[in-house]
Structure 1
Amino acid sequence: KISTMGNNPADNLRMLELIRRSEKPMVGICMGDVGTPTRILAGKFGAPFTYATFHHERVLAPGQLSFQQMNEIYHYDRINADTEVYGVVADPIGHTLSPLIHNTAFRHFDLNKVYVPFRVPREDLSRFIDLTGRLDIRGLSVTIPHKEEVVKKLTEADAAVAGIGSANTVVFDGKKRLGYNTDYRAAMESLEAALGGRDEALQKLRGKTALVLGAGGLGKAVAYGLIRRGMNVVVADGDSQQALLLAKRFDCRSIEWSLRQSLSPDLLFNCTPIGMHPNVDETPFEKHILRPTTIVFDAVYNPENTLLVKEARGRNCLTITGVEMFVRQACRQIKLFTGRDGPADLMRETIRRAIGAAKY
Structure 2
Amino acid sequence: ERTTEVYGVIADPVGHSLSPLIHNTAFRHFGMKKVYIPIRVPREELYAFLDDAPVWDIKGLSVTIPHKEAVLARLTKADSVVRGVGAANTIVFQDHERLGYNTDCRAALEAMEAALGGPLGGVSPLKGKKALVLGAGGAGKAVAFGILRAGGQVLLSDGDEEKARSLAEKLSCSHVPWEERHSVQPDVLANCTPVGMHPNVDETPFEAQYLRGSMLVFDAVYNPENTLLIKDARARNCKVVTGVEMFVRQACMQFKLFTGRDGPAELMREVLKRATSPAKW
What TM-score, normalized by structure 1, do the two folds share?
0.76
Residue in 2 aligned with 1:236? 157
In the alignment, the residues of structure 2 paired with residue 211 and residue 202 of structure 1 have an alpha-carbon distance, to the nearest angstrom, of: 21
Residue in 1 aligned with 2:62? 141
Match of 1:174 among 95, 119, 122: 95
- Cα deviation for residue 83 of structure 1 reads 1.4
Residue in 1 aligned with 2:181? 260
In structure 2, the residue corresponding to 1:198 is in which secondary structure?
Answer: coil
Q: Compute the RMSD of aligned alpha carbons.
A: 1.4
| Amino acid in structure 1 at the alignment position of 2:181 | R
In structure 1, the residue corresponding to 2:120 is in which secondary structure?
Answer: helix
State whether structure 2 residue 2 is matched by structure 1 residue 81: yes
| Amino acid in structure 1 at the alignment position of 2:272 | I
Match of 2:37 among 100, 113, 116: 116
State whether structure 2 residue 220 is matched by structure 1 residue 220: no
In the alignment, the residues of structure 1 paired with residue 232 and residue 122 of structure 2 have an alpha-carbon distance, to the nearest angstrom, of: 23
Distance of aligned partners of 1:326 and 1:295 in 2 relative to their CA distance in 1, 3 Å threshold: same
In the alignment, the residues of structure 1 paired with residue 171 and residue 100 of structure 2 have an alpha-carbon distance, to the nearest angstrom, of: 20
Residue in 1 aligned with 2:130? 209
State whether structure 2 residue 199 is matched by structure 1 residue 278: yes
Match of 1:92 among 13, 16, 19: 13
In the alignment, the residues of structure 1 paired with residue 260 and residue 183 of structure 2 have an alpha-carbon distance, to the nearest angstrom, of: 46
In structure 2, the residue corresponding to 1:205 is in which secondary structure?
Answer: coil
**Deviation string, structure 1 residues 254-298 (Cα, Å, up to 9, x no partner):** 111111112121100000111111111110000000111011000
- Cα deviation for residue 357 of structure 1 reads 4.7
Residue in 1 aligned with 2:273? 352
Between the two proteins, the alignment pairs up a number of residues equal to: 280
- Cα deviation for residue 151 of structure 1 reads 0.8
Residue in 2 aligned with 1:127? 48
Match of 1:339 among 257, 260, 272: 260
Gaps of 5+ in 2: none
Native 8 Å contact 1:195 1:201 kept in 2? no
In structure 1, the residue corresponding to 2:190 is in which secondary structure?
Answer: strand
State whether structure 2 residue 22 is matched by structure 1 residue 105: no
| Amino acid in structure 2 at the alignment position of 1:271 | C
**Deviation string, structure 1 residues 80-103 (Cα, Å, up to 9, x no partner):** 232111000111112110000000
In the alignment, the residues of structure 1 paired with residue 30 and residue 255 of structure 2 have an alpha-carbon distance, to the nearest angstrom, of: 11
Q: Matches of residues 50-69 of structure 1 in structure 2 within 5 Å?
A: none
Gaps of 5+ in 1: 1-79
Residue in 1 aligned with 2:214? 293
Match of 2:240 among 308, 312, 319: 319
| Amino acid in structure 2 at the alignment position of 1:306 | T
Residue in 1 aligned with 2:225? 304
In structure 2, the residue corresponding to 1:207 is in which secondary structure?
Answer: coil
In structure 2, the residue corresponding to 1:269 is in which secondary structure?
Answer: strand
| Amino acid in structure 2 at the alignment position of 1:318 | K
- Cα deviation for residue 197 of structure 1 reads 1.3
State whether structure 2 residue 118 is matched by structure 1 residue 197: yes
| Structure whose CA Rg is larger | 1
In the alignment, the residues of structure 1 paired with residue 112 and residue 30 of structure 2 have an alpha-carbon distance, to the nearest angstrom, of: 29
Distance of aligned partners of 1:200 and 1:356 in 2 relative to their CA distance in 1, 3 Å threshold: farther
Residue in 2 aligned with 1:249? 170
In the alignment, the residues of structure 2 paired with residue 357 and residue 243 of structure 1 have an alpha-carbon distance, to the nearest angstrom, of: 34
In the alignment, the residues of structure 2 paired with residue 130 and residue 237 of structure 1 have an alpha-carbon distance, to the nearest angstrom, of: 33
Residue in 1 aligned with 2:84? 163
Residue in 2 aligned with 1:39? none
- Cα deviation for residue 204 of structure 1 reads 4.0
- Cα deviation for residue 141 of structure 1 reads 0.3
Native 8 Å contact 2:124 2:150 kept in 1? no
**Deviation string, structure 1 residues 164-198 (Cα, Å, up to 9, x no partner):** 11110000013100000000110111011111112
- Cα deviation for residue 353 of structure 1 reads 1.1
- Cα deviation for residue 202 of structure 1 reads 4.4
**Deviation string, structure 1 residues 307-351 (Cα, Å, up to 9, x no partner):** 000011111111110111100000000001011000011111111
What TM-score, normalized by structure 2, do the two folds share?
0.96
Native 8 Å contact 1:294 1:318 kept in 2? yes
In the alignment, the residues of structure 2 paired with residue 209 and residue 106 of structure 1 have an alpha-carbon distance, to the nearest angstrom, of: 40
**Deviation string, structure 1 residues 223-246 (Cα, Å, up to 9, x no partner):** 111011221100011111111111
In the alignment, the residues of structure 1 paired with residue 119 and residue 198 of structure 2 have an alpha-carbon distance, to the nearest angstrom, of: 32
